[in-house]
Amino acid sequence: MSETASPVLKGRRLTLRPFLPGDVHDRYLDWLADPVVNEYSQRRGAPRPTAREAQAYLSGLAEGEAVLGIHHPEHGHVGNVKFGPVDRPNGRADISILIGEPAVWGKGVGTEAIYLVSKYLFRTEALNRVDAGSRNPAFIRAVTKLGWKTEGVLRQRIGTPEGYKDYTLLAQLAEEFTERPEFEQAIQD
């Protein structure tokens, strides 16, 4: 990683900043156990972690991994986006996201956060590729709006109480990334 291993990223509406062990709060811990928030998450069905467990996770991130808190001007901390670990030899990193605050669901917060992290990874870290896998239709729509491509579908990969669900693999290459003014920080006069 560059010297800015845990960047602060500013967009039109959002600020993404390192989410550190001291930032863990009860509302965040509730999100991690909420079945609606985690319907599409790998945490689905997991018990509510203790503050110490969440802090240990954040303290134990590998080099080239970062968790950034997503901060909204009206709602404060609304979720997290994680990237990495950065695979430097192959010029790639995985991105995942959790939007815990229902008040911002469906309002483009996830799309802007993923855009900001992708831009950072392409422009600052000089990666060639960002990717993710998901069965969440909202995530798939968000990254598709940003120009990510579906690279494959793992049929019936995820077991749920409703039956087995497909898991979609998506990615974007640096050459496909397009700057989007609607997500860029407004220039102050």
Q: What pLDDT does 39 receive?
A: 92
Q: Are 148 and 120 in contact (CB under 8 A)?
A: no
Helices (H) and strands (E) in the chain, counts: 4, 8
Q: What pLDDT does 145 receive?
A: 96
Alpha helices for the chain (secondary structure H):
26-33, 51-59, 109-119, 137-145
User: In a structure prediction context, what are the per-residue pLDDT tens digits for the chain, which is 189 residues long?
Assistant: 443 357 999 999 999 999 999 999 999 999 999 999 999 988 888 999 999 999 999 999 999 999 999 999 999 999 999 999 999 999 999 999 999 999 999 999 999 999 999 999 999 999 999 999 999 999 999 999 999 999 999 999 999 888 999 999 999 999 999 999 999 987 654
pTM of the entire structure?
Answer: 0.93
Q: Are 14 and 72 in contact (CB under 8 A)?
A: yes
Q: Are 13 and 67 in contact (CB under 8 A)?
A: no
Q: What pLDDT does 3 receive?
A: 36
Q: What pLDDT does 5 receive?
A: 59
Q: Are 129 and 91 in contact (CB under 8 A)?
A: yes
Q: Using alpha carbons, select from 4, 17, 5 the residue that is nearest to residue 69.
A: 17
Domain-by-domain residue ranges, the chain? 9-127
Instruction: Identify the CATH assignment for 9-127 out of 3.40.50.720, 3.40.50.410, 3.40.630.30, 3.90.1490.10.
Output: 3.40.630.30
DSSP for 17-67? EE--GGG--HHHHHHHH-TTTTTTSTTTTPPPPPHHHHHHHHHTPPTT-EE
Burial class of residue 131 (count of CB atoms within 10 Å of its CB; 0-12, 13-18, 19+): middle
CA dihedral over 18, 24, 29, 31, signed as positive or negative: negative
Q: What pLDDT does 186 receive?
A: 72
Q: What pLDDT does 60 receive?
A: 95
Report the residue count for the chain: 189
Q: What pLDDT does 188 receive?
A: 56
Q: What pLDDT does 4 receive?
A: 39
